[in-house]
Amino acid sequence: MELRAKVSTALKEAMKAKDADRLSTLRLINAAIKDRDIDARGAGSDEGVGDDVVLAIMGKMVKQRQESAKVYEEGGRLELAEKELSEIKIIEDFLPRQLSDDEAAAAIDAAITAVGAESIRDMGKVMGELKAKYTGQMDFGKTGPMVKDKLG
């Protein structure tokens, strides 16, 4: 089942269960997907965005909430930080399992070999290879420096 359908099914289940927090987060995910669909239609695409874009949207939503939770914790607003963290858990239900550090390192090595990267100039090719295979499974903010270290 594609991600969009999973979100819709979960949204309906949350409505039936009267789970307000989950429902609210699922509606935010749905709105972000629909917003991206509208942008795609404006660019000439008749279909909605694919699972790869939906994964990217959800990954971005998780990252935003992590940053917000950190700011709230630093400001002593623990109840707001907890709300952000609970939203992260709901969003992560739809994301593939994150790669461990060892798995990420192995994936980076494999991507370097696959594209024949030899220097830092090839970093874009390596990152492109990783994003094609591991969107939603890797934190590319952490992956970039790791690739740089291996190529540098």
The per-residue pLDDT for range 113-141, each reduced to its tens digit, is: 998 888 889 889 999 999 888 877 888 88
Report the predicted TM-score, pTM, of the whole model to 2 decimal places.
0.74
Range of the domain at 88: 3-92
Taking 70 as the threshold, does the pLDDT of residue 1 lie above it? no
DSSP structure string for 42-93: HTT-SS---HHHHHHHHHHHHHHHHHHHHHHHHTT-HHHHHHHHHHHHHHHT
pLDDT for the residue numbered 33:
92
81 and 128 fall within a common domain: no
17 and 87 fall within a common domain: yes
86 and 24 fall within a common domain: yes
CATH number of the domain that residue 16 is part of: 1.10.1510.10
Residue 104: CB partners within 8 Å, gap ≥ 6? Answer: 138, 142, 143, 146
The per-residue pLDDT for range 16-57, each reduced to its tens digit, is: 999 999 999 999 999 999 999 888 888 777 777 888 888 889
133 and 65 fall within a common domain: no
> What separation in angstroms does the CA of 125 have from each of 108, 119, 135?
11, 11, 15
54 and 128 fall within a common domain: no
Please identify, among 49, 75, 92, the residue that sits at the C-terminal boundary of a domain. Answer: 92
Residues of the chain above pLDDT 70, percent? 99
Band of pLDDT at residue 69, cut at 50, 70 and 90: very high
Nearest to 138 by CA among 91, 99, 93: 99
17 and 85 fall within a common domain: yes
Q: How far, in Å, CA of 70 to CA of 77, rounded?
A: 10
Q: What's the total number of domains in the chain?
A: 2
